[in-house]
Every structure is written in structure tokens, then in C-alpha cells.
Amino acid sequence: MLNVSIRKELPSFTIEVDLQFNNGILVLFGPSGSGKTTILNCLAGLCKPSAGRIALGEQVFFCKQQGVNIPARSRHIGYVFQDYALFPHLTVKDNVLFGLPPGPDRCKKKRGYRMSVRETLDTLKIMHLQDRYPAQLSGGERQRVALARALMSEPDLLLLDEPLSALDSQIRQTLQQELKQLQRTWQIPFVLVTHCQKELKALADEIVFLEAGRPVAAPAWQQPLAAQI
Ligand SMILES: Nc1ncnc2c1ncn2[C@@H]1O[C@H](COP(=O)(O)OP(=O)(O)OP(=O)(O)O)[C@@H](O)[C@H]1O
């Protein structure tokens, strides 16, 4: 269970969210500048909330009151950034392996579901690209590499910041299905940011609508959909 109850003061407004989420795909939906990325960054440990608490199961990542702030590298969180943040000087394979321990520990399974590099590249259909560099990939291929890298670290939580925004509609639809399937296989919570209504409909198990940093009721155009979900 992901428990997030935080306040983050920004120059233009204050983010205040209080959410509990068990499993599946939680979508943070809102207009540009409503605080979605900042919330992901707080979860990942890249940004410090002004107050509150963040916990995943028994593990407390942040608690202002108790002075806890676990560094990003120790949170076991996968993060697919908006621009994918691949290392341009590393091949696809080395990007995917980045951050894993060297040597035999690289293949150790934490909870039995870590896939080998081969399996990961295969699942995401990028095996044939393993020796290429990011500049030699399409947007959809880069997205798959970023996803593979995030999954190889065997995360307890996966954060996705507009992961499909740069893609055309056909690839977008395919990857939406693949994301949904990955979540069902991995059984870890995904928190996904988007401002695309179609993506929301295709992926969300739960939705938080945000405006200026605060959850709001589903907008009128969304109410029939929110009721279905
Ligand atoms: N490090 C920072 N320092 C100051 N202000 C910031 C910082 N990061 C974000 N902001 C401001 O906080 C607000 C929320 O930004 P954020 O990137 O979280 O929004 P968003 O909903 O993810 O936007 P988008 O959909 O455009 O990516 C914006 O007004 C932004 O200018």
C-alpha cells in the first residue's frame, strides 16, 4: 500500500495531497503546471516535501515529523522520466544495465521476478537494438529502453511521467496495452502522470484529478468515465 500525505510549498501554489493506493495503475491527471511531476519527484526522493509522510508498505520513505528522508537510490523506485533520460554515450544494453551491481550479483533475484537482461529486452521487443545508441532509436524504442532500465532494477514502485507523450497514436495504443500487461505481471503499484484523456481511459485503475496542486472532483467531461472505473 502506497500512503502519501504531503504538502510541498512552491512559489506559485502549495501542493497538498493525501492518497492511499494499493495496486494497479494510479493516474495523476491535470493541466500543465498543476504539480504532477513534483509529486512524482517527492515520491522518488528527488524533491523534499515541506511536510507530511510517504510510505510504501512498512517502508517509510519520508516523514517530516520523525526526520526520515530516505535517499532516492535506497527507495527501490523505478522512474521513467518525461524525456526518458537515457545516457547518450551508452548502448541500449548498457543503458538497461545501468545502476545494477556488477558481477554475479547482477542476476540475483530479490523477489524472484527479476528478469535477465535478455528476457527484459525480449519482453519489450528491443533485443535487436541492444548495440545501438539512443540517438539511433525512434521515440517508441527509447520509451521501451527507459522502461526496461526502470524494470531491471526490480523496483517496488514504478513512476512514469508522461511516458507516451512523444509517440504517435498507433505506438501509443500498443504501449498502453503493454504497460497494463506489465503492471499485471509485476504486481507493483504504477503511478503515471498524463494530461491525455485517452491515456487516462486506457490505463487508469484509479485517478487523482489535480488542479494547482490539490485533488479536485472529476471534471464534468470525466464523470461518466470516473463512474465506470
Ligand atoms: N524546482 C522548482 N522550483 C520552483 N518551482 C518549481 C519547481 N519545479 C516545479 N516548479 C513549479 O511548480 C509548478 C508545478 O510544476 P510541475 O512540473 O510539477 O507540474 P506538472 O503538472 O508536472 O506540469 P507538466 O504537465 O507541464 O509537466 C509549476 O508552476 C512549476 O513552474
ipTM for this prediction? 0.92
Separation of 176 CA from ligand 1 center, angstroms?
A: 25
Residue 126, burial from CB neighbour count under 10 angstroms (0-12, 13-18, 19+):
buried
> 146 Cβ partners below 8 Å, 6+ apart?
80, 81, 84, 85, 86, 163
For residue 34, give the ligand 1 atom closest to its CA.
Answer: 21
Separation of 165 CA from ligand 1 center, angstroms?
A: 17
Separation of 17 CA from ligand 1 center, angstroms?
A: 15
Which pLDDT tens digit goes with each residue over 68-117? Answer: 999 998 999 999 988 888 999 999 999 998 867 665 555 555 555 556 78
pTM of the model: 0.88
- Sort residue 28 into left (φ over 0), alpha (ψ -120 to 50) or beta: beta
At residue 224, the pLDDT reads 59
Side-by-side strand order, sheet with 2-9: 14-21, 2-9, 51-56, 59-63, 68-69
Q: Higher confidence at residue 122 or residue 167? A: 122
For residue 47, give the ligand 1 atom closest to its CA.
Answer: 1
At residue 160, the pLDDT reads 95
Q: Is 88 helix (H, G, I), strand (E, B) or coil?
A: coil
Side-by-side strand order, sheet with 206-211: 77-80, 157-161, 190-194, 25-29, 206-211, 214-216
Choose the residue to mutate in 6, 37, 159, 197 for probing ligand 1, maximizing ligand atoms within 8 Å of C-beta: 37
Separation of 14 CA from ligand 1 center, angstroms?
A: 11
At residue 79, the pLDDT reads 92
Which pLDDT tens digit goes with each residue over 167-209? Answer: 778 778 888 888 898 898 888 999 999 988 888 889 999 999 9
How far is Cα 127 from Cα 33, in angstroms, rounded to an integer?
Answer: 37
H-run or E-run covering 158:
strand 157-161
Looking at 14-125, list the stretches that DSSP marks H as alpha helix, in order from N- to C-terminal side.
36-44, 92-97, 117-123
Out of 44-48, 140-144, 219-223, which region has the weakest mean confidence (pLDDT)? 219-223
Question: What percent of the chain lies above the pLDDT cut of 70?
Answer: 89
| Complete domains list, the chain, with CATH | 2-76+156-228 (3.40.50.300), 91-153 (no CATH)
Judge if the beta carbon of residue 195 lies within 6 A of ligand 1.
yes
At residue 173, the pLDDT reads 86
Mean pLDDT over all residues of the chain? 87
At residue 221, the pLDDT reads 65
